Structure 1
Amino acid sequence: MWTNDEPSSVAGLPRLASGALMALAEARGRLAAGVMPVAPISLGLGEAVGGMLAGDVVAMADLPARTLALRDGWAVAAEAVAGASPYAPILLASQPVWVEAGDDLPPGTDAVLGQEAIPDPEAPPGRIRVVEEAPATEGTRGAGADLSRGQNMAAAGTRLAPSRILGLAACGIARVDVRRPMVRLVATGPAGAAVCAALAAFIAADGGIAVQTRQPGRHADAVAEAILGSPADAVFVIGGTGFGRTDVSAAALTLAGTVTAHGVALRPGETAGFGTAGGRPVLLVPGRPDAALASYLTLGRPLLGALAGTRATDRRIAPLLRKIVSTLGMSELVFVQCRPEGIEPLGSAEIPLHRLALADAAVLVPPEREGYVEGTSVEIIPL
């Protein structure tokens, strides 16, 4: 089981009162304050997939460079075969040029007829019958139709998806500059291993690289040493964020650096915290799975985005299929399942694991609202 990250009192640490919780909006701003995007690295296309592009990728030439045939057939001038049919064939003085898909169209041609359009291509000159017509550009792709010189193929701050590789490679682009922040995950107890594995997957999907350290145990000194350990752009400490006897994450961060906040007005995830150590941001992530995921989506992902130089994406809006009830004064993350007709809330705070496993998005209810009525269109956070 994970550690109980609920607030409680313990010698040397204050009890976490609701009034001491930092507002989520303030926590986001202070966590990312002063954070600059990591240095870009040049990678081959295969290695760069998943990274955030450090600059716009622009086509350096038209693609294709010249008009191409899209199918095998006869290259003709459309005007010369206009009106051709089996009942009114057009006779050609010479056999047209046969082209294969991908060939340049010969000068003076602008369409490609199928093989059956000329039943007897070996007939004497002047007796070669064309029995089908073709409009101009039929069976062809014009110069620059795929990409035009100077066209932005992928914008800075967007994730390089596998679907982009075809276009980039076709343009002769073999390498791109990407940013891939490295996040060190430190689990303070055995139960944190499962949460670490899940967060590592989310970090990779969001363009980062997750590196897991050996579990330092429940000793503040050991956790502090792990925080200051191997190089990383940020550190996430998993578990031990509460105020119980074995919860040492905040104390460890105090030893390693500075605690900026311990306790955020977020449900689930009240015991999250953050600070800095060794010149790097450190996020304290509760060990309970729903609280860990909520903390990552609302604090960890924005921090990773700041390190990666992530570009803002369009908001996704969907209607609620059931109402959401929330508590005033707390930002509440409600996990939902997306359906064709809208989104279905899966529960409130402290959602059980078997329900959390069904989630594919979440809704963040701001602290000034008591929830949303059924049918309200709300912004969703994709998982």
Structure 2
Amino acid sequence: MISVAEARARILAGFAALPAETVALPDALGRVLAEPVTARLTQPPFDAAAMDGWAVRAADIAGATSDRPVALRRIGESAAGHAFSGSVGVGEAVRIFTGAPVPTGADAVVMQEDCSADDASVLIGRAVVAGRFVRPAGFDFPQGRELLPKGRRLTARDIALAAGGNVPWLSVHRRPRVAVLATGDEIALPGDPLGPSQIVSTNALGLCALVATQGGTAHNLGIARDTVDSVAAMAAGAAGCDLLVTTGGAAQGDYDLVRDVLADRGVSLDVHSIAMRPGKAVMFGRAGTVPLLGLPGNPVSTGVTAVLFLRPILRVLQGLPPDDGEGPRRARLGTALKANDRREDYIRATLTTGDDGIPTATPFDRQDSAITSLYAQADCLIVRAPQAPAAEAGAVVDIVPLSGGALNL
């Protein structure tokens, strides 16, 4: 067996960022930029009002107070999309609305609450300095400025920013294409009739969903039966994908055929057993031109190993670092833990945050790798190094958050 760290290093060494493609801005949510986004215009493109009110020359109202307002001649109006075409001279004012261009000659805006007007004039009841409530051209960004860096996964806010920069198309890394193959005579699809010795298949659907959350495209190849021909034929459906992920059949039982079948067809395995719990039976290699990641059959083992190995692969393929950096990486133990053995342990736990803002990770009492109901409730995995001594409640431990992905606001 090899360590988790060594397995990750070997696995991730086989991947690099996928080529770029150009997509329309509305289709770019969750994608990763292959090139930076640069503003194609200055925003705002003109001096704009930050308030509804009156565009004035600050010098004209220097002595204005609520008791002694200054009267100015009303000469027009500037609204968003309908700029005033003239200029403001001495003793003149223009009615203006938020976002509208500030007329030539005016250098400040007085809020409408400090003014009263009729059809011919306006009384200004407060003095303002030049620039008051005026957003100068380029206040947000100038043309040519980098708005979003290469390697950024695009959020809804990023889409809005790129739109503000008048950028209709973006260069992003191609979505990873992942083929998912479940194996085993004992499993059937949800909703299908179950035989007396069968259970519902959960792993493939969970893996496809994980691929989608991480920005990839999953291709569910179905369920291969426990025969050499079935496993080989269905695995061939991964042709053209960036990765084949299998679940089940990676251990050393009489019916665990995936490793033997693929090895008979020239598949080279670089990883085949990892000192971890859950998930010892993980394998990695290459099936022809397609990288292969074989995950265990126990559903929680599948989920944990997918988080530790599949998720970082998908990130690297999209031009991201293997780990997302989102969420806490350390927490206090909510309950004591006994000493660990020779395998690295990944303990399912919930997270709560105390008044001091420090998260507390509380392990579930049951950690069996078949209990999917508790895994669905988990917020993180507590990482226990091999031979780690017993830890008391309140001790600080490393954790792996079970969150983060392509759809981040």
What range is the shorter-chain TM-score in? 0.7 to 0.9
- Structure 2 residue aligned with 1:290: 300
**TM-aligned CA distance change 1:371 to 1:27, over 3 Å:** farther
Deviations 1:240-289 (A, max 9, x none): 22222322221233134122222211211111111111222111111222
Q: 2:104 aligns with which of 71, 88, 107?
A: 107
Distance 1:123 1:33 in 2: 75
1:291 Cα offset (Å): 0.7
1:188 aligns with 2:188: no
The CA RMSD over aligned residues, in Å, is 2.5
- Structure 1 residue aligned with 2:76: none
Q: 2:372 aligns with which of 345, 350, 353?
A: 353
Look up the equivalent residue of 1:194 and give its one-letter code.
T
1:74 Cα offset (Å): 1.2
1:319 aligns with 2:352: no
Q: Secondary structure at the match of 1:197?
A: helix
Alignment TM-score, normalising by the size of structure 2: 0.79
1:168 aligns with 2:159: no
- Structure 2 residue aligned with 1:16: none
Distance 1:223 1:306 in 2: 28
Distance 1:79 1:255 in 2: 88
Note the residue ranges of structure 1 that are not aligned, 5 or more in a row: 1-20
**TM-aligned CA distance change 1:85 to 1:371, over 3 Å:** farther
Q: Secondary structure at the match of 2:311?
A: helix
Q: 1:337 aligns with which of 350, 374, 387?
A: 350
Distance 2:181 2:59 in 1: 71
- Structure 2 residue aligned with 1:199: 207
Distance 1:382 1:284 in 2: 21
Distance 1:356 1:90 in 2: 70
- Structure 1 residue aligned with 2:384: 365
Distance 2:40 2:297 in 1: 49
Query: What aligned pairs does 1:75-94 form with structure 2 within 5 A after superposition?
Result: 75-82=55-62, 84-92=64-72, 94=91
Are the aligned partners of 1:63 and 1:146 in contact in 2 as well (CA < 8 Å)? yes
**TM-aligned CA distance change 1:74 to 1:216, over 3 Å:** same
Distance 1:42 1:49 in 2: 13
Are the aligned partners of 2:56 and 2:92 in contact in 1 as well (CA < 8 Å)? no
**TM-aligned CA distance change 1:210 to 1:116, over 3 Å:** same
Alignment TM-score, normalising by the size of structure 1: 0.84
**TM-aligned CA distance change 1:176 to 1:367, over 3 Å:** farther
Q: Secondary structure at the match of 1:53?
A: coil
Distance 1:307 1:212 in 2: 19
How many residues are treated as equivalent by the alignment? 360
- Structure 1 residue aligned with 2:83: none
Q: Secondary structure at the match of 2:166?
A: coil
Q: Secondary structure at the match of 2:223?
A: coil
Look up the equivalent residue of 1:235 and give its one-letter code.
L
Are the aligned partners of 1:332 and 1:349 in contact in 2 as well (CA < 8 Å)? no
Are the aligned partners of 2:22 and 2:172 in contact in 1 as well (CA < 8 Å)? yes
Distance 2:349 2:248 in 1: 24
Q: Secondary structure at the match of 2:64?
A: coil
Distance 2:129 2:201 in 1: 64
1:31 aligns with 2:39: no
Distance 2:36 2:53 in 1: 39
1:377 Cα offset (Å): 5.8
Residue identity (%): 26
Q: Secondary structure at the match of 1:215?
A: strand
1:96 Cα offset (Å): 1.1
Query: What aligned pairs does 1:1-383 form with structure 2 within 5 A after superposition?
Result: 21-82=1-62, 84-92=64-72, 94-123=91-120, 128-179=122-173, 180-189=175-184, 190=187, 193-229=201-237, 230-256=239-265, 257-311=267-321, 313-314=324-325, 316-322=328-334, 323-325=336-338, 327-341=340-354, 342-347=359-364, 349-350=367-368, 352-367=371-386, 369-370=388-389, 373=392, 374-376=394-396, 378-383=398-403
Deviations 1:104-145 (A, max 9, x none): 111233332233433124346xxx421134454443323223
Q: Which 10-residue stretch deviates more, 196-205 or 145-154?
A: 145-154
Distance 2:129 2:345 in 1: 60
**TM-aligned CA distance change 1:98 to 1:133, over 3 Å:** same
**TM-aligned CA distance change 1:109 to 1:199, over 3 Å:** farther
1:238 Cα offset (Å): 1.3
Distance 1:261 1:382 in 2: 24
Distance 1:362 1:135 in 2: 57
Distance 2:377 2:131 in 1: 49
Q: Secondary structure at the match of 2:117?
A: coil
Distance 1:184 1:167 in 2: 34
Distance 1:236 1:192 in 2: 19
